[in-house]
């Protein structure tokens, strides 16, 4: 399980440190792709395979299913951590998530997310204001 929040910088070559607490669970190689809310999602290979199987079951005849599958897989890259604990994020993914300098790397249960710090701060501020309402809406899911 991934949890916690870490602040790191991305360099001009697109390299960012993966927090040491996340590296072991991510494994030797893992998948990074476009996430929701303008961040990047990183999945260990086992989790990626589970997600891949679920997405394969979506009906090809549904426009939204095709769009989501394209969005998710077209941005996916396999990453390996270098000796300094960094990964290289391709330019297309950096542009999508607006990763330029300061980044927040957060653990979210079965995945890691990479956020531009200003986007993360805005998201947290917006979410804090409606956290009670969000919790109420999720009560149906037996939380």
Q: Report pLDDT digits (tens) over 38-97.
A: 999 999 999 999 999 999 999 989 999 999 999 999 999 999 999 999 999 999 999 999
pLDDT reading at 143 higher than 60: no
The residue with greater pLDDT, 141 or 116, is 116
Q: Where are the beta strands (DSSP E) in the chain?
A: 2-9, 15-17, 29-34, 40-44, 77-80, 86-88, 102-109, 111-116
pLDDT at 134 over 90: no
Q: Are 48 and 30 in contact (CB under 8 A)?
A: yes
Beta pairing class for 29-34 and 77-80? antiparallel
In degrees rounded to 5, what are phi and psi of residue 116? -65, 135
- CATH tag, 2-141: 3.40.1550.20
């Amino acid at each position: 399980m991934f949890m916690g929040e870490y602040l790191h910088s991305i360099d001009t070559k697109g390299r960012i440190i993966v927090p040491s607490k996340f590296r072991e669970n991510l494994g030797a190689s893992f998948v990074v792709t476009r996430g929701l809310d303008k961040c990047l999602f990183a999945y260990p290979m086992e989790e990626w395979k589970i997600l891949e199987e679920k997405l394969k079951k979506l009906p090809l005849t549904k426009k939204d299913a095709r769009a989501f599958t394209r969005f998710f897989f077209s941005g996916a890259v396999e990453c390996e951590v270098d000796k300094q604990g960094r990964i290289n994020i391709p330019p297309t993914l950096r542009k999508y998530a607006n990763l330029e300098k300061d980044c927040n790397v957060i653990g979210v249960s079965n995945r890691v997310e990479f956020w531009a710090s200003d986007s993360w701060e805005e998201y947290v501020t917006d979410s804090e204001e409606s956290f009670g309402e969000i919790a109420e809406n999720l009560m149906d899911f037996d939380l």
